[in-house]
Structure 1
Amino acid sequence: MHPTDSAGDSSGPVAGEPVRHGTGVTSTRAFPTNAHPSHLDPFVLFERFYIEPDDGFPMHAHRGFEIVSYMLEGGMAHEDSLGVSHTATEGSAMHVTAGEGIRHSEFPADGAGCSGLQLWVNLARDEKEIEPDYADAAADELPTTDREGATITTVVGEGSPLETHATMEYLDAEVDGSWTWPIPEGWSGFCYGVSGSGTVDGAAFGEGDVLSVTDARSVDVRTADGLRVVSVSGRPHGEPIRQRGPFVL
């Protein structure tokens, strides 16, 4: 089934889909998948990747979108055609603007495997040809606050040094009890299970599950034993998302 440009199913959570990349890397993809066949404007793709010590992504090209990589375990070494060489470690994040075109590689660092989350964000039509760019933020640079029912780290949004061209917010929430995630008027978003178990809007929710939301409302996240989720929302561009492998036209 080919991805469409419509919003995903917001009726309830669906399970992520195992994906094996040609380089030998495995991922659990939230969307687009058979269960969630659409993109979610402005978001193109989201997945959790697992890279074994001898695997990785050799130098390859991207164009037309932004990439946010957020590390969960281990370290990932990034090199690109801008001359950047950087290793992202647990809790740190990298932002790449592919724009008119960039080449980069991603490999596990220090001879050990790694795991993280990668988000592709569409660039608006009038920004497709902007110059490529790179930025990163260490774990201690990402603001972490205690809110009612959860400890929240802001990967992209208020207080984070990482700025995307798309207007969006990316939260890492360690939920202990109950937490309410608000989605602004006119925005789309999704909630993805990183670890633990609980409920989202009353439905069972755990590692690898995704709930997409396309209307302004508050999402209720609850757990008895601990649940870690990432909650991502953004203002849609209102433009078709035309993904062709590593390019978004």
Structure 2
Amino acid sequence: MARNEAPRGRGEPVSGRSVRHGTGVRSNRAFPSEAYPDHLDPFVLFERFYIDPETGFPMHAHEGFEIVTYMIDGGMEHGDSLGVEHVAREGEAMRITAGAGIRHSEFPADGAACNGLQLWVNLSRSEKDADPDYEDASAADLPTAERDGATVTTVVGDGSPLELRTEMEYLDVRVTDAWTWSMPEGWSGFLYGVAGEGSVDGGAFAVGDVLPVTDARDVAVEADGELRLVAVAGRPHGEPIRQRGPVVL
């Protein structure tokens, strides 16, 4: 669903922006982007990535934050400086704590393209030098339940084995009628469209759209058929987010 190219007001859905990471790797970035140029404390960055066969990210370094990768389609091979080698497939997730520094690589598995969602979560100033760490979860590990008009899988939060150093919740939500998302007091977060279309608070919402939410309120979601989205919220650190490429200071 096409949208205005001009940035829109805070609290309204905006379209993600296309980003190229090199030959064969592209993404739809929810934020920061031309449409929403800010970070969403405690979140540094969120995007949907697409990696073509025989391409990917060779070994590279990260520092100062945590990464949650959630696969939508296909498989991705992960390797890192901790000695971990793992393939995450559709419906599976990984958490990396970069902390004081980690190196990792990401390539599509089985000679086929893959795509997924990647979230960068800031570490508080007191935890920037945390020991690097890694954790993964299979689709069966992530609890799924019916919740008031939607089927909800918890990627991070109550019942999920994935734990971060920031208090947060990450939900994969399939809405077939109507569903209400509630932002806790003092938290901030966003909705991001994965498949289908519908509306959020009466505004059109489809694949690649993002709704930033920085105040405690209920957001009404309605589906036109089926709408799949992710709902992510967390407690802000209240500290500046200074991103320098793969490092968050």
So what's the TM-score if we normalise by structure 1? 0.96
Q: 1:191 is matched with which residue?
A: 191
Q: Is the 8 A contact 1:23 1:57 kept in 2?
A: no
- Name the residue aligned to 2:204: 204
Aligned-residue sequence identity (percent) comes to: 69
Alignment correspondent of 2:3:
none
- Partner Cα separation in structure 2 for residue 22 and residue 173 of structure 1: 31
Q: How does 1:160-199 map to 2 (within 5 A)?
A: 160-199=160-199
The residue identity in structure 2 corresponding to 1:93 is A
Q: Distance in 2 between matches of 1:162 and 1:134?
A: 10
- Work out the CA distance in 2 between the residues paired with 1:9 and 1:102: 37
Instruction: Name the counterpart of 1:54.
Output: 54
Matched position secondary structure for 1:224: strand
Shift of 1:24: 3.5
Whole-Å Cα distance in 2 between the matches of residues 177 and 45 of structure 1? Answer: 29
Equivalent residue letter for 2:104? H
Conserved 8 A contact 2:196-2:224: no
Match of 1:88 in 2: 88
User: Unpaired segments of 5 or more residues in structure 2?
Assistant: 1-7
SS state at 2:22 partner: coil
1:186-221 deviation digits (Å, cap 9, x = unpaired):
000100000100000100000000000000011110
Q: What residue is the counterpart of 2:105 in the other structure?
A: 105
Cα drift, residue 224 of structure 1 = 2.6
CA contact (8 A) 2:87 2:109 kept: yes
Are positions 1:11 and 2:28 aligned together?
no
* 1:11, distance to aligned residue in structure 2 (A): 2.7
| Structure 1 residues 85-136: Cα deviation after superposition (integer angstroms, max 9, x where no partner) | 0000000000000000000000000110100000000000000001000000
Rate the CA distance shift 1:12–1:36 in 2: closer, same or farther, 3 A: same
Alignment-derived partner of residue 149 in structure 2: 149
Does the residue aligned with 1:226 lie in a helix, a strand or coil?
strand
In structure 2, what is the Cα distance between the partners aligned to 1:224 and 1:13? 16
Distance 1:244 1:9 in 2: 26
Aligned-partner Cα distance in 2 for 1:214–1:171:
17
Cα deviation code 1:117-166 (max 9, x no counterpart): 00000000000001000000000100000111100000000000000100
Counterpart Cα distance in 1 of 2:23 and 2:95: 22
- Residues 164/9 of structure 1: CA separation in 2 closer, same or farther (3 Å cut): farther
Partner Cα separation in structure 2 for residue 110 and residue 9 of structure 1: 43
Deviation at 1:9, TM superposition (A): 5.1
Alpha-carbon contact 1:9-1:212 (below 8 Å) kept: no
User: Which residue does 2:236 correspond to in 1?
Assistant: 236
Aligned-partner Cα distance in 2 for 1:92–1:139: 5
The alpha-carbon deviation at position 23 of structure 1 amounts to 5.0
Point out where structure 1 has 5 or more consecutive residues left out of the alignment.
Answer: 1-7
The worse-fitting range, judged by mean Cα deviation, of 61-70 and 9-18 is 9-18
Instruction: Give the counterpart letter for 1:120 in structure 2.
Output: W
Q: CA deviation at 1:52?
A: 0.4
Partner of 2:4: none
Please tell me whether residue 32 in structure 1 is matched to residue 24 in structure 2.
Answer: no
- Tell me the equivalent position of 1:64: 64
What is the DSSP-based 3-state SS (H/G/I as helix, E as strand, rest coil) of the residue aligned with 1:47?
Answer: strand
Q: Cα distance, 1:223 vs. partner? A: 1.0
Shift of 1:10: 3.2
Look up the match of 1:4: none
CA drift at 1:22: 2.8
